[in-house]
Structure 1
C-alpha cells in the first residue's frame, strides 16, 4: 500500500523557490536563505543548510555484537554513543564512503555489505541524507583517524544498545534508525541483500 507521497499527490503542498541567497559558506556546510512562494501564492522565507550527505554503518561481529563509537560532539557539549559514520566526499560513492569510514575510524574491514535505506534527520532546516549500510564478516586491522579526530571504539550487545536507548544514554538519530533497521531485519520483516566488499576502495 502506498502512502501517497508521489509528486502528483503532493503538488498542492509544493513551495517554489523565488530567490536563493547564500548567507554562509563553511568547510562543508552551505547555509541558504530562500524566498519561496507558498501554495496560496503568498511569500515566505526558508533558512536551511545544504549538506553533502553521509553514511552510517551497522557493523556486526560474528558473536552478534555491534561495533560502536563514543565521540565528543561539540554542539551538545558531551560524548555521544553512535554507530560508525561519516560524511561523503565530493562525488564519492556512498558504499565506498561506508567502506572507507568503517576502516578509518574502527580498523575493521567487512567481507559482506548490504544497503538498508536512507534517513533525513533534520528535515526542517537541513537537506542531509544519511545512508544506512550493514557490514558483516569483520576482520580487525589498524585505524587511520583523520587529523584532529578523537573517538573510542567499543563493542556492545544489541540488548545493551537498546537498554542505552531506553535509559537516554543513546540519543543519536542515525543510531536509533539503524537499530530499528537491525530489529526489523532480525525479525525477517525487512530483508537485506548482501554483496562482497567492493575491491580497490581503500587502495584508491
Structure 2
C-alpha cells in the first residue's frame, strides 16, 4: 500500500455517449457508454437524482426528532431522521427548513450544515446534505399528498441500540448518527447560524 496518488487520471472514465432510458416524475435512468482507463469501452447505467437533505433536529432535552415511514421498495417501516428531496432551484437550507416543517411541524432557529453524503455511488447521482437544527418550536405539519409518517422523539442511546440490533438500518440516518456522536464528543464542530 502506498500514499494516495496526486492525480486520479488513471482511474477516470470518459463519457462517449449518454442515453435516457426512463424519465419518471423526479428520477431519470440513463445508460452511458464510457471509455475505461485502459482504452476499452463499457456501459454504465445509473439513476439521476435531484439531491436531498436530512435533518438531525435536536429537542431542548437532547432527544432527537425522528420519523417512522413505510418505504415501499424495501416493504418495511423505517426509522429515519426527517429528510426530503430538493425542489428545482431550491438550496439546501431552504429545503431542510421546508422538509422539517412539512414532515414534523417543527421550526428551528439555529441551523448548521454538517456536510454531504453520497448514499448510493454505484448506481445514482444522489447527494444528501446533512443539516443539524436546534432551538425548535412545534407548529402544524403539512404532509405532502400521499405521505404518511409518524413523528416521535428518541434518545441517542435508543438510536444506538436500534442500530446495533438491526432495527435502524437507513443509511442516511446511520450517517447522521455518526455525525451526531462526533459532534457531541467535541471532535467535529458545527458552524451554527441563526435563521429567522
- With the length of structure 2 as denominator, give the TM-score of the two structures: 0.97
Runs of 5+ unmatched residues, structure 1: 200-204
In structure 2, the residue matched to 1:105 is: 103
Number of aligned residues: 194
TM-fit CA distance, 1:66: 0.3
Pairwise mapping of residues 86-97 of structure 1 onto structure 2 (< 5 A)?
86-97=84-95
In structure 1, the residue matched to 2:24 is: 26
* Partners of 1:74 and 1:102 in 2: CA distance: 22
Runs of 5+ unmatched residues, structure 2: none
In structure 1, the residue matched to 2:175 is: 177
* Partners of 2:61 and 2:123 in 1: CA distance: 40
In structure 1, the residue matched to 2:8 is: 10
Provide the secondary structure at the position in 1 that maps to 2:10.
helix
CA offset digits 1:147-194 (Å, max 9, x no partner): 110000000000000000000000000000010000000111110010
* Partners of 1:15 and 1:120 in 2: CA distance: 19
TM-fit CA distance, 1:196: 1.0
In structure 2, the residue matched to 1:202 is: none
Provide the secondary structure at the position in 2 that maps to 1:13.
coil
Q: Which runs of 4+ in 1 moved over 4 A?
A: none
Aligned counterpart for 2:51 among listed residues 50, 53, 56 = 53
TM-fit CA distance, 1:9: 1.4
TM-fit CA distance, 1:111: 1.2
* Partners of 2:187 and 2:128 in 1: CA distance: 21
CA RMSD of aligned residues (A): 1.1
* Partners of 1:114 and 1:4 in 2: CA distance: 31
In structure 1, the residue matched to 2:114 is: 116
- With the length of structure 1 as denominator, give the TM-score of the two structures: 0.93
